């Protein structure tokens, strides 16, 4: 490997080394936000120095012999010693390997992949959400990292949980598996959010995921705070915790530091929503349905047509595309489920399932104000737009269970929706305190599928969804791990559904469930 360090630099680096721990790369490496010609590579240096220089190398092979780019970067205390390099001049749809060097220390070698270019014929990625550190081991991350057939991992948010180890009554307490949160209190300050990210990034399965694949991520509420909206959050009280804007800015600052991400608007750290184009094959529209939304409200006010889940700027961002000719799949990445989950006056076991999964108002008397059900006017205007296109697929998460559904609007199916289960956050068996395949779970699955008109649902497993896109169809495969209370290697494909081009309805591939 070639790095251009002269003897003078070597002397300075020895000085920095004196303040480093024995492993300055203990948070691993990561990559993210690939484009056809570039990708972000990331690391963090563990050091007490105000700043430290390091080198990076990108090559075509894992041994780093066929080097395509090298450079220097600086880890600064003001960025929590995190380092982002936007490596440019790369080939589309190509695997690369990279590492960082600081003094005599070298990081693990990571692999990454650029997005395919304008002639993209296929895109295959894993989607996931809801990684609650103290609820389980990230076996699903490890399984994703073992695959050799993916372009990237798409994270729908709750990449961290800001929660306290002793949660409020509205949150499910975690099992005693020796993984308490750091800090043990709820994150509110920059130092606390940084500590939480650092804890996640020392986890071996999180490190394996990032070492293997580039990340494309949006956010859900727990990157900020439970039930976040533009002006606050469920458990946030300005008088006690300080101004919401300061807390939000601290949370987002730690997120930008610790994720291998490129800011869509460098002048606006609150902007996460953006579009990712995979040639003419597909466009991914990554939505932020938390940080800019109006406050969730129950009752008739919910239907106010002025209320927004997206906020004015994000809403306007989509408007010009209404008239644009669209050649490929339109993949809408919405952390919150878009299908209605409200059932008036349900019988058991549907009533308990809806309440436990937080799919209706906590008293069961109204729709859930926290998901798209709580913003019906804006959802209707989006579905109007979907109805004008044949090729809309919605990807969602947040509700911790696996769902395949069809989105209906004015009597027609206008899109399909694939919902990923949680990585570790509690789903129905854990919330009910029963065994994973208790008869109560089977009954709840049947009742929920019937009551909501779903194609399929599974309410008691953790895992991820592989989304496979080609010009003729989009296929979703729900992969479930055996459990999360221990680090285990078993997984199985629980279901697979395909939506053919121009149909907006599911086809179930033969042989799977």
Residues of the shown chain interacting with Fe ion in the complex, contacts defined by CB under 5 A: 130, 158, 425
Minimum gap (Å) between residue 67 Cβ and Fe ion:
41
Query: Quick check: 92 and 115 in contact, CB under 8 A?
Result: yes
Choose between 27 and 462: whose C-beta lies nearer to Fe ion: 462
What would the two tokens of residue 6 be?
């002269």
Minimum gap (Å) between residue 166 Cβ and Fe ion:
18
Choose between 307 and 400: whose C-beta lies nearer to Fe ion: 400
Minimum gap (Å) between residue 426 Cβ and Fe ion:
9
Cα(72)–Cα(12) distance, rounded to whole angstroms? 14
CA distances 67 to 71, 87, 260, 432, Å, are 11, 13, 21, 54
What would the two tokens of residue 470 be?
């080609």
Cα(7)–Cα(95) distance, rounded to whole angstroms? 33
What would the two tokens of residue 329 be?
């799949």
Choose between 120 and 153: whose C-beta lies nearer to Fe ion: 153
Q: What is the largest CA-CA distance in the chain?
A: 76
Choose between 44 and 255: whose C-beta lies nearer to Fe ion: 255
CA distances 195 to 24, 27, 112, 182, 236, Å, are 16, 12, 26, 6, 20
Minimum gap (Å) between residue 370 Cβ and Fe ion:
11
What would the two tokens of residue 261 be?
């991400």
Choose between 47 and 336: whose C-beta lies nearer to Fe ion: 336
Choose between 406 and 430: whose C-beta lies nearer to Fe ion: 430
Strand partners, 505: none
**Residue 399: phi, psi to the nearest 5?**
-90, 0
Cα(315)–Cα(255) distance, rounded to whole angstroms? 23
The helix-helix angle for 139-146 and 204-212 (nearest 10°) equals 30
Q: Sign (positive/negative) of CA torsion 247, 253, 257, 262? A: positive
Minimum gap (Å) between residue 154 Cβ and Fe ion:
15
Query: Quick check: 425 and 138 in contact, CB under 8 A?
Result: no
Q: Which residue has the tokens 């798409």?
A: 154
Q: Quick one: which H or E segment has residue 181? A: none
Choose between 42 and 161: whose C-beta lies nearer to Fe ion: 161
Minimum gap (Å) between residue 47 Cβ and Fe ion:
33
Contact residues for 502 (Cβ-Cβ < 8 A; gap 6+)? 390, 391
Choose between 139 and 425: whose C-beta lies nearer to Fe ion: 425
Q: Which residue is nearest to Fe ion (CB)?
A: 130
Q: Which candidate, 213, 13, 205, 7, places its Cα nearest to that of 106? A: 13
Choose between 85 and 130: whose C-beta lies nearer to Fe ion: 130
Minimum gap (Å) between residue 227 Cβ and Fe ion:
11
Minimum gap (Å) between residue 222 Cβ and Fe ion:
6
Per DSSP, the three-state class of 196 is helix
What would the two tokens of residue 456 be?
């399929």
Minimum gap (Å) between residue 56 Cβ and Fe ion:
33
What would the two tokens of residue 117 be?
């270019």
Choose between 158 and 205: whose C-beta lies nearer to Fe ion: 158
Contact residues for 278 (Cβ-Cβ < 8 A; gap 6+)? 115, 116, 120, 123, 284, 328, 469
Minimum gap (Å) between residue 136 Cβ and Fe ion:
13
Choose between 62 and 175: whose C-beta lies nearer to Fe ion: 175
Choose between 158 and 257: whose C-beta lies nearer to Fe ion: 158
Minimum gap (Å) between residue 223 Cβ and Fe ion:
10
Q: Quick one: which H or E segment has residue 354? A: helix 350-356
Minimum gap (Å) between residue 424 Cβ and Fe ion:
10
CA distances 512 to 345, 373, 418, Å, are 34, 31, 16
């Amino acid at each position: 490997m070639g790095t251009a360090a002269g003897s003078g630099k070597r002397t300075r680096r020895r000085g920095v080394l004196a303040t480093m721990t024995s492993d300055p790369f203990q948070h691993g490496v990561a990559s993210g936000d690939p484009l056809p010609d570039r990708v972000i590579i990331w690391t963090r240096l563990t050091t007490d120095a105000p700043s430290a220089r390091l080198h990076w190398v990108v090559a075509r092979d894992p041994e780093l012999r066929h080097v395509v780019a090298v450079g220097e970067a600086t880890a600064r205390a003001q960025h929590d010693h995190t380092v982002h390099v936007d490596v440019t001049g790369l080939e589309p749809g190509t695997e690369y390997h990279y590492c960082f060097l600081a003094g005599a220390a070298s990081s693990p070698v990571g692999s990454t992949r650029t997005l395919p270019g304008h002639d993209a014929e296929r895109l295959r990625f894993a989607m996931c959400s809801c990684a609650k550190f103290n609820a389980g081991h990230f076996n699903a991350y490890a399984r994703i990292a073992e695959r050799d057939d993916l372009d990237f991992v798409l994270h729908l948010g709750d990449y961290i949980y800001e929660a306290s180890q002793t949660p409020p009554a509205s949150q499910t307490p975690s099992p005693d598996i020796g993984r308490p949160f750091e800090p043990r209190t709820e994150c509110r300050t920059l130092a606390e959010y940084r500590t939480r990210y650092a804890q996640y990034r020392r986890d071996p399965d999180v490190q394996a995921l990032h070492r293997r694949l580039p990340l494309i991520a949006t956010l859900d509420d727990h990157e900020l705070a439970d039930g976040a909206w533009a002006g606050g959050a469920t458990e946030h009280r300005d008088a006690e915790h300080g101004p919401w804007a300061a807390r939000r800015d601290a949370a987002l600052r730690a997120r930008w530091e610790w994720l291998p991400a490129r800011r869509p608007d460098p002048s606006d750290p609150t902007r996460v929503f953006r579009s990712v184009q995979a040639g003419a094959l597909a466009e991914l529209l990554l939505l932020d349905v938390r940080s800019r939304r109006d406050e969730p409200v129950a009752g008739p006010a919910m239907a106010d047509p002025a209320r927004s889940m997206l906020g004015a700027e994000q809403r306007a961002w989509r408007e010009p595309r209404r008239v644009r000719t669209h050649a490929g799949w339109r993949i809408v990445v919405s952390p919150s489920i878009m299908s209605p989950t409200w059932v008036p006056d349900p019988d058991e076991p549907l009533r308990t399932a809806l309440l436990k999964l937080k799919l209706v108002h906590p008293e069961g008397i109204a729709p859930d104000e926290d998901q798209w059900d709580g913003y019906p006017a804006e959802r209707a205007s989006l579905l109007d737009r979907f109805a004008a296109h044949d090729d809309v697929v919605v990807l969602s998460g947040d509700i911790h269970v696996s769902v395949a559904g069809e989105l209906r609007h004015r009597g027609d199916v206008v899109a399909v929706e694939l919902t990923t289960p949680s990585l570790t956050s509690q789903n129905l068996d854990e919330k009910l305190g029963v065994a994973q395949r208790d008869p109560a779970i089977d009954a709840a699955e049947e009742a929920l599928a019937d009551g909501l008109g779903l194609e399929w649902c599974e309410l008691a497993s953790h895992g991820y969804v592989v989304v496979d896109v080609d010009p003729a169809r989009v296929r979703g495969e729900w992969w479930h791990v055996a459990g999360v209370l221990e680090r285990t290697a078993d997984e199985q494909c629980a279901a697979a559904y395909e939506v053919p081009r121009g149909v907006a309805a599911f086809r179930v591939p033969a042989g799977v469930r």
